[in-house]
Amino acid sequence: MHQNEEPTARLKVHPSPILIYLYGLLFLILLVICFLLFKESLFFDSIWRIFIVSGVLWLFYHYLSHISSVYEINPLEISIEVGIFSKSRAAAPLNRITNFELRRSLLERIFGLANLLIDTAGSSDVEVGLHSMRLSDAENFAKVLSLNLGQQKIIDAGEDKQLREDRVEAVKDIVDN
């Protein structure tokens, strides 16, 4: 890293390959049930191959989609980049974030995952959603966001040098861990 560059905690998402495997298991169970119920049908004989191929392609596409997603936080913004064939990027400047929520369903709690949902000023909906993050990564991102929200309450809208240095230190802590 060059001296002039700001540290960036760029985390490549490993968003629950376990959940994708569970979806695959569910697909396999449904396939076996359909085979047992309809194995005598001539219609099922030709359709089951299409069903298997489309299911495997769907699982593979979602797996590639998840592993190609990148969440990034730096002293200026938090962003998500998603896509396999065409990439899209959503970002929220840290000084415009008004609220964030760490949300975990029962299944995500079992597997140690979390969703970080971020609201910004002037938006009525979730601006950036970081889904199926490892819990430790979500908590680290939330620490930086908490620090930022606390700082924003102290200052009006301008950028304070000491507060910027505090943000840089918080991001360095994430990078070092």
Q: Give 10-residue mean pLDDT values along the chain (177 residues).
A: 48 60 79 75 67 80 82 84 87 86 90 89 79 87 82 59 71 71
pLDDT for the residue 117: 92
| Burial of 29 per CB tally in 10 Å (0-12, 13-18, 19+) | exposed
- Please report the pLDDT score of residue 129 as a whole number: 86
State the pLDDT at residue 174.
72
How far is it, in rounded angstroms, from Cα 51 to Cα 176?
A: 46
Is 0.85 topped by the overall pTM? no
User: Residue 66's pLDDT is what?
Assistant: 79
Output the pLDDT for position 3.
Answer: 45
pLDDT of res. 4? 46
| Residue 148 and residue 97 in contact, taking contact as beta carbons nearer than 8 Å | yes
Bin 70: left if φ > 0, else alpha if -120 < ψ < 50, else beta.
Answer: beta
